[in-house]
Structure 1
């Protein structure tokens, strides 16, 4: 194995300098040319940095591990939400590649036997956890990573996408296309209760942005406890109001499916009478009529990354890490980006 001393001799610097460069020490004062020479020499000699050795060890150490996948939805609920199916598949495929065993635990109402978690090398918790459930997970997990959720504070490993930022970007985009009457359909975050019904991140971002832009109308922000028919009932109620929105943004694609049904039942067209945009980009979104505009959240990558964070913990990382994955707006036929929108705005100022 090539040593730091050999690299230092080849470049003409001290072993300490080589070590600090290869470990990405930001406080080291060294010329760019010398830094590049050290890195290129290390690569030429196939030297593995401590960071890379730890990563390789973690990858190799995945074989034989037992990982508990704790889900906040029961199997039937998960099956109804393809997004969370994607997160789980990401976890399972990553574990399969690492030859790790996956044990599924469903934390839906009553806590399972603590031994199921304590006997695992680590736990990946999918979904949102609060209060007693959160503390139960922390208490009984050797190592714990949250997928698609980050508890308050900085004590836990987590991987998720920033849906608040994604909502802001989506609102800025549709505003730029001429829309002003923008409705939002969402759900009430169970943790915050009836006194704070607008606490869900997408809802909060919607209210903040619309208020700052001077377009917020409480009549166009409707939320309720999540049910399979929430998208349908809320959209139908909103579009039955005297001054309905010209575009409806739903909290996820499942709600958008209900919105489509309500719009069609009211005898309206998409996007001619009302446009629709959403979140998640589940597989069916592209096959709707018209195909659904939606913010793509990388569900499977969230699951894969959660397993990688767990492996890092098992290989010795002590500082908690939160990974935020990017999102992408996938524009489709439910939200026109053509001159048609501009034409409506020109003939009826403020109508959108």
Structure 2
């Protein structure tokens, strides 16, 4: 925190002079130039007086107190098993929970979508809903009949109706593929899961498969380089076990690829285990780039090169957007969070 002494040192005047200037002491005989220099330095260093800091603290306390009665629903489209097998969703949930605590919101109701379908009337008792995951538009519209304050996390939607927090899947997947291709890898395999979206039929829910942008980008990049081989595509459910099973399948085919783009860190962890059991070295024998950058990714052996998705921050942003909407904002907002490639040891050195 910036102090009066910091400003005094920067402006080459005494601390008492700085204090008197910032408190508008009219009895001080300092020149207008000196006063202006002190004010400019204080602004540059983002200094705030004790009074202004106290006022800010009081304002924050008032805001937190006002939110104590706020009731928010966190709608999870994943089952308990799906959430447990993929830390991606758990990280978003943790971001929501942490930000609610920071904002003084004590009432956060967890709702699994499959339980909500037959009890939508309860949604009207909540101030707003944070929906995590991909949901069919008709279901979304029917939910909106009971509660219009909706924030979508990890799903794009009608920009004229819904707030949303997303990232560019195609750009993120391209970061992974471009990195491997730039390092000279030509035979690149793909291990991924199936993207599903919740739909409603006859008063019950089911999930249907939708195109996965990661797989689509992989296929596009390989075709561009004249290296597409359908036999190098391995797809199952998103889980550690699936990553293990699919890498076993790839090894059983023989002629293992030089590298793999693996569509989630969880699957990559399973794949690493399968390779380790077969005494296949990463990255010396096979390079790996994965997706999500979960906490465990930097502790695997070797640590994973992976595309970082700011999942916890997506959850936190969802809560802040909800507060902003409850405070009166009506115009829908879409936030596109950035993605970056975190380079560690699993992708190896260049092959030229």
Give the TM-score category using the shorter length: 0.7 to 0.9
Q: Deviations over 1:279-300 (max 9, x none)?
A: 1111111111111111111111
User: 1:182: Cα distance to partner?
Assistant: 1.3
Q: What are the ranges of 5 or more consecutive residues in structure 2 without an aligned counterpart?
A: 1-42, 47-59, 200-207
Partner Cα distance (1:230, 1:154) in 2: 39
Do the aligned residues in 2 keep the contact of 1:278 with 1:294 (CA within 8 Å)?
yes
Do the aligned residues in 2 keep the contact of 1:278 with 1:295 (CA within 8 Å)?
yes
User: 1:183 corresponds to which residue?
Assistant: 189
The answer as to 2:315 corresponding to 1:303 is yes
Helix, strand or coil at the partner of 2:117: coil
Q: Deviations over 1:160-214 (max 9, x none)?
A: 2222101112211221111111111112223499xx9771121112222222232
User: 1:106 corresponds to which residue?
Assistant: 112
Matched ranges for 1:207-226 at <5 A:
207-226=219-238
User: 1:142: Cα distance to partner?
Assistant: 2.5
The answer as to 2:81 corresponding to 1:69 is no
User: 1:60: Cα distance to partner?
Assistant: 7.6
Do the aligned residues in 1 keep the contact of 2:292 with 2:306 (CA within 8 Å)?
yes
TM-score between both structures, scaled by the size of structure 2: 0.73
Matched ranges for 1:230-245 at <5 A:
230-245=242-257
Q: Deviations over 1:210-258 (max 9, x none)?
A: 2223222212222224455211122222233344311111111111111
Distance 1:277 1:168, change over 3 A: same
Partner Cα distance (1:245, 1:154) in 2: 45
Matched ranges for 1:162-173 at <5 A:
162-173=168-179
User: 1:139 corresponds to which residue?
Assistant: 145
The answer as to 2:87 corresponding to 1:82 is yes
Partner Cα distance (1:72, 1:323) in 2: 20
- Max Rg structure: 2
User: 2:214 corresponds to which residue?
Assistant: 202
> What is the RMSD of the two structures over their aligned residues, measured on CA atoms?
3.2
Partner Cα distance (1:167, 1:153) in 2: 24
User: 1:322: Cα distance to partner?
Assistant: 1.3
Partner Cα distance (1:197, 1:64) in 2: 39
Number of matched residues?
Answer: 292
The answer as to 2:252 corresponding to 1:246 is no
Partner Cα distance (2:246, 2:160) in 1: 36
Do the aligned residues in 2 keep the contact of 1:58 with 1:311 (CA within 8 Å)?
no
Matched ranges for 1:143-154 at <5 A:
143-151=149-157
